Structure 1
Amino acid sequence: MSNPVVESPGAMLADPKAYTDEARLHAGLAQLRATAPVSWVEVDNYAPFWAITKHADIMEIERANDIFTNAPRPVLVTREGDEQQAAVGVRTLIHTDDPLHRDLRAIGANWFRPKAMRALKDRADELAKRFVDQMIAVGPECDFVQQVAANYPLYMIMSLLGVPEQDFTSMLTWTQELFGNDDDEFQRGETKEEQMVSLLEMFQYFTELTASRRADPTDDLASTIANATINGEPLSDIDTVSYYLIVAAAGHDTTSAAISGGMLALLEHPAELARLQNDPGLMPLAVEEMIRWSTPVKEFMRTAQQDYEIRGVRIAKGESVLLSYVSGNRDEDVFDEPFTFDIGRDPNKHIAFGYGVHFCLGAALARLEVNSFFSELLPRLKSVELAGTPQQMATTFVGGLKHLPIRYELS
């Protein structure tokens, strides 16, 4: 079978600005699912890749983690970005494969198990109340993303790590610059070298944190990471810092995007907002629907270690695939009325947390935070409406709303 070459809409997957226009993006992805679900995409400045847009195919590739590996191309970046990523040598959970991935995952696993979540619930509820109270203090209008959704999960994950509160602002800036380096508002400088400064500053910060926790261990996740061993050997400096990076960055920006995306969805679907306020027991299902609807992680890449056929298309050894979670979470073959926001959707087999051995380590924490926040907000929310135009971040990896101006009344 000849390889289908798709320049558009498949090329949108490599265009950060495409993710700022969700209607256009979803229309393009729906076209791909219907006509070329496994499509060869060639875009200037990017190594070519296969776009995988169907839910079942994404899951099949995720299950075949021995054939489709994270290394050497875990996320979609330019050719220059691929080279920089290889040169820097960051080895987070999203960059590695078994057995190293399994060993790294085990280091932090206990912090995200159900028992740990029960212990963290009080902190999540406390912070949710703090930020809803703050909405009253700054109201009756605010930028929900920048004043609330960006900070609540930041405070939660930084508390888990054990980072002092005076450093939270710097951490927010670094993570927004890292994930927003394709967005004109958040990127630092014009060149990749300038934009690398954020990563280098985070490296310096976490290197110092490691030294501190090794000299004087405390009861926090940072100490667990700093003093971890694999096969009896302490983690290297790059592996230690990489672990902090994935916890601090992914553990913050993804949940922020889910909360802000969930808020906008409720604003745009007032009947669902009223339904959830009238039936708080729907909150667990509503949380899953908010996460499906927003899909904060847009894609991951995998590279074939041997020839593989999927949906009648041969993927050759060494070729990369892009797993479009945004597309998979709107797949008409899996979700009834996928473009309907339904807080009671059940079942909801979304893949916003990935699937298989690389399933998101922090999924339980993200669910807890979204649940705690809206469980605090909605009983106190008398009215809410848009006070301006929502704006999406330009990205091809992690992101969501960057501004959500709202007008509200709270009790």
Structure 2
Amino acid sequence: MSTAPVYNIDPAAFLADPYPDLAKMRADGPVWQVPQLGATLFVRRDDIFEQEKRIDVFSSYQPEGLMTVLMGENMMRKDGPDHAAERKATFPAFSPRTVRDSWTAQFRARTQEVLDRLAPKGGCDLVADYAMPVSAEALKAITGLANMDWREMDRVSQGMIDGIANYGGDPSVEAHCHDCTASIDAHIDARLEELRDHPDTSLLSVQVEAGLPMDSVRANVKLAISGGQNEPRDAIAGAAWALLTHPEQLAMIRDGSATWRDAFEEYARWISPIGMSPRRVARADTVQKVAFEPEERVFFMFGSGNRDERVFDAPEVFDITRDTGPSLAFGAGPHFCAGAAASRAMISEVALPMLFDRFPDLAIDGEVPFAGWAFRGPLKMPVRWS
């Protein structure tokens, strides 16, 4: 391991709420070795922002990493020209123009269907009954897997998320992840002939049209599902919870002094749906007086950087009027989230405004527990409306 000082955590407490430990780490130093996670953690925003770009030292290429082993080698696990080539090939599916011209209307149509199903019920679990299908239906369009039921989309996404966070090596979690990736492969196979005959702007189609190897095509579709289902789902429900628990800020949006985009960006800073990004040390180096050796594991803790007191005033406070420009919610550097435009459109232009427009008296109707540090969000959110 690195020569960083050691900070011990209670894994269960860290999973329930990592922010107290992260605040202590930030206060006492920029880099910490956490034995329970088997990694060295960068916890301050500016260090993360700078070091994430140093791909010659902190490499995304992780052939033995859980994501590569379980999901295949996607573009997120490549650096330099290899990463750039695949990012260019996938860009037509994620570009702001494609989001505007192709995806947003589909997001609205599918969200309207979900709201129509929910309206007569007078209440629901906002995570499972609203955010989950809205996110999954959007992802079906973007990936090109229109043949996958939204429930299966959520299942396979969660299965992969659990798999790549399975640092404890639970064999049942690994087996379930393999079952989920097999389902994705089967759904890809069922769509290939049609998309070859009738190409579109979906991720599956644009990669095939660009001539990427099928191993890369499959891995990148799995990457999009793992990052494009759970995180938007959690951000939709979580941002709604934040606004309902801060009614004065919801009122600002309704009177036009703030926007749904402001609320989404601040929520993504405050409760980072993606709280960490792993790296492999590619060569020996010293950073912040800490020596790193090749093949060590490093975690860039986005969730900690987004609450760095050196950058944000009162970072523990949800405040939609703050400048979220320095936020690391979508990462930084060459691996900045390719789906950022789609996420922003789906959540701040569709899911949040349509929810609050349809149910203006929406109210929380029970406990809303949160969990996670690598990926964080509400586990359930009971709500009611008249």
TM-score (norm 1): 0.84
Aligned to 1:30: 23
Q: CA deviation at 1:386?
A: 2.2
| Deviation at residue 284 of structure 1 after TM alignment | 2.3
Q: Which residue of 1 aligns with 2:309?
A: 332
Instruction: Name the residue aligned to 1:388.
Output: 366
- Percent sequence identity is 24
Q: Which runs of 5+ in 1 are unaligned?
A: 74-81, 230-234
Describe the superposition over 1:193-218 as per-residue Cα deviations: whole angstroms up to 9, x where unpaired: 3442222222232234335533x233
Q: How does 1:144-223 map to 2 (within 5 A)?
A: 144-164=126-146, 167-181=149-163, 190=172, 192-214=174-196, 216-221=197-202, 222-223=204-205
Are 2:275 and 2:303, in contact at CA under 8 Å, matched by a contact in 1? yes
Query: What letter corresponds to residue 37 of structure 1 in structure 2?
Result: P
Work out whether residues 179 and 397 of structure 1, in 8 Å CA contact, stay in contact via their aligned partners in 2: no
In the alignment, structure 2 segments of 5+ residues that lack a partner are: none
2:111 & 2:145 partners in 1: Cα distance? 19
Shift of 1:328: 0.7
1:1-150 aligned within 5 A: 3-9=3-9, 15=11, 17-18=12-13, 20-22=15-17, 25-43=18-36, 48-72=38-62, 82=64, 87=69, 90-119=72-101, 120-139=103-122, 141-150=123-132
Q: 1:105, 1:305 → 2: CA distance?
A: 22
Q: 1:373 to 1:193 in 2, by over 3 A?
A: closer
- Following TM superposition, by how much is the alpha carbon of 1:296 offset from its aligned partner in structure 2, in angstroms? 1.2
Q: Is the 8 A contact 1:70 1:95 kept in 2?
A: yes
Name the counterpart of 1:228: 210
Moved more, 255-264 or 299-308: 299-308
Q: Which of residues 232, 243, 263 in structure 2 aligns to 1:266? A: 243
Note the C-alpha offset of 1:147. 0.4
Change (3 A) 1:385 1:209: same
Where do residues 202-351 of structure 1 align in structure 2 (5 Å cutoff)?
202-214=184-196, 216-221=197-202, 222-229=204-211, 235-279=212-256, 281-351=258-328
Deviation at 1:182, TM superposition (A): 8.9
Q: Following TM superposition, by how much is the alpha carbon of 1:134 offset from its aligned partner in structure 2, in angstroms?
A: 3.4
Q: CA deviation at 1:170?
A: 1.8
Deviation at residue 397 of structure 1 after TM alignment:
3.3
Superimposed CA distance per residue, residues 208-250 of structure 1 (whole angstroms, 9 cap, x where no aligned partner): 4335533x23324122122322xxxxx3332111121112331
| Contact 1:57/1:310, CA 8 A, preserved across alignment | no
What is the rounded CA distance, in whole Å, between the counterparts of 1:123 and 1:86 in structure 2? 31
CA drift of 1:125 comes to: 3.0
**8 Å contact 2:111–2:134 — kept in the other structure?**
yes
Do 1:262 and 1:293's aligned partners in 2 also have CA atoms closer than 8 Å?
no
Equivalent residues of 2:93, 2:201 under 8 A apart: no
The one-letter code sitting in structure 2 at the alignment partner of 1:239 is S
Distance 1:147 1:40, change over 3 A: same
Structure 2 counterpart SS, 1:383: coil
Contact 1:253 1:399 in 2 (8 A): no
1: CA distance, partners of 2:22 / 2:49: 17
The CA deviation at 1:281 is 4.5
Secondary structure of the 2:80 match is coil
Work out whether residues 291 and 352 of structure 1, in 8 Å CA contact, stay in contact via their aligned partners in 2. Answer: yes
SS in 1 for 2:116: helix
Q: Please say which of residues 91-100 and 327-336 is displaced more in the overlay.
A: 91-100
Residues 92-132 of structure 1, C-alpha deviation per residue, up to 9 Å, x if partnerless? 12221222111111111122222222213323333333333
Contact persistence 1:207–1:241 (CA under 8 A): no
1:232 match: none
Residue in 2 aligned with 1:77? none
3-state DSSP of counterpart to 2:384: strand
CA distance in 2, matches of 1:380, 1:130: 12
Which of the numbers 359, 363, 378 marks the counterpart of 2:356?
378
CA root-mean-square deviation: 2.7
Following superposition, the deviation at residue 88 of structure 1 comes to 5.0
Counterpart residue identity of residue 384, structure 1: L
Structure 2 counterpart of 1:3, which letter? Answer: T
Tell me the secondary structure at the aligned position of residue 254 of structure 1: helix
Q: Please list the CA deviations of residues 158-195 of structure 1 after superposition, one character each: whole Å capped at 9, or x if unmatched.
A: 123333366332222211222245999xxx98353344
TM-score (normalizing by structure 2): 0.89
1:19, distance to aligned residue in structure 2 (A):
5.5
Give the distance between the partners of 1:402 and 1:183, measured in 2 at CA.
Answer: 17
State the secondary structure of the residue aligned to 2:295. Answer: coil
Specify the SS of the correspondent of 2:229. helix
Q: Is the 8 A contact 2:68 2:77 kept in 1?
A: no
